[in-house]
Amino acid sequence: MTTSTNRVAIVTGASRGIGAALARRLASDGLSVVVNYAGSADAAARLVDEIEKAGGRAISCQADVSDPLAVKRLFDSAEAAYGGVDVLVNNAGIMKLGPLAQFDDASFDQSIAINLKGTFNGLREAAKRLRDGGRIVNFSTSVVGLYQPTYGVYAATKAAVEALTHILAKELGSRGITVNAVAPGPVATELFLEGKDQAVLDRIRQMNPLGRLGEVDDIARVVSVLVGPDSGWINGQIIRANGGVI
């Protein structure tokens, strides 16, 4: 594997939330980072600026991960800027909730398009273009395991991501590329907080052995380890990073 200082990481969905923390952390670990976003161009540009001011290297790149051609262009941009790609973090995702009886087709299709097809688009490109010794980190959720009502479609897309993780690890092992997934529990981001009142949040905090919600840096630290030089023997695993809630 190349050293951290000349390794290149694409982080999808890095304009906000967990992805932004991942981009900051990988840049401070010494990787050159491609900050992907869908619509939040200003937030992505501000993050790149912040990383550069802290002495890191980053570019931003718009690409809707559900579009295979856009994901190809995302890899093209990374290669044009930095000469190759070593790490893909497939973080971009959405969470549409609702009982199955009322779940609408548009929300179902969008969940599949971004969470499952978006992850697949990144994995297919990474399988062809990552340098040997690379790292892939997918994003699942601890809802795969907790299986709460209303999370059915979201959990189904993430269970599919876990299946892809196990199988791609076997397909890419001969090139020294590891493929793992992180499955966070509740993390205080827009995706999780939207639509939840204080009473619901208090109940979720109390469910956790550590008595709090996850913070984005809790997850960034785990991804830093999976991407870093000491984790080469961790492969094909789903790491539930959730404070022990399941």
Question: Which residues are tagged catalytic?
Answer: 154
Q: Which is nearer to ligand NAP, 19 or 134 (CB)?
A: 19
190 contacts ligand NAP (rule: CB under 6 A): yes
- Mark 202-223 as b/e (b = at least 16 C-beta within 10 Å): eebeeebeeeebbebebbbebb
Phi, psi of 201 (to 5 degrees): -65, -40
Of 10-18, 45-53, 165-173, 197-205, the segment contacting ligand NAP by CB under 6 A is 10-18
Please give the helix or strand (H or E) that residue 184 lies within, else none. Answer: none
- Smallest gap from Cβ 133 to ligand NAP, in A, equals 25
Tell me the C-alpha distance between 71 and 129, whole Å.
Answer: 12
11 contacts ligand NAP (rule: CB under 6 A): no
191 contacts ligand NAP (rule: CB under 6 A): yes
Residues 37-96 that bind ligand NAP (CB under 6 A): 37-40, 64-66, 91-95
Do 244 and 208 contact (CB within 8 A), yes or no? yes
Sole binder of ligand NAP in the list 184, 223, 228, 243 (CB under 6 A): 184
Total of residues contacting ligand NAP (CB under 6 A)? 32
Number of C-beta neighbours around residue 238 at 10 A: 18
Tell me the C-alpha distance between 71 and 192, whole Å.
Answer: 25
Q: Which is nearer to ligand NAP, 1 or 204 (CB)?
A: 204
Q: Which is nearer to ligand NAP, 2 or 110 (CB)?
A: 110
15 contacts ligand NAP (rule: CB under 6 A): yes
The three-state secondary structure class of 168 is helix
Tell me the C-alpha distance between 186 and 165, whole Å.
Answer: 21
Distances (CA, A) of 189 to 106, 193, 197, 215, 242: 23, 6, 14, 8, 14
Q: Which is nearer to ligand NAP, 1 or 43 (CB)?
A: 43
19 contacts ligand NAP (rule: CB under 6 A): yes
Q: Which is nearer to ligand NAP, 134 or 186 (CB)?
A: 186
Residues of the shown chain interacting with ligand NAP in the complex, contacts defined by CB under 6 A = 12-19, 36-40, 64-66, 91-95, 114, 118, 139, 141, 184, 186-187, 189-192
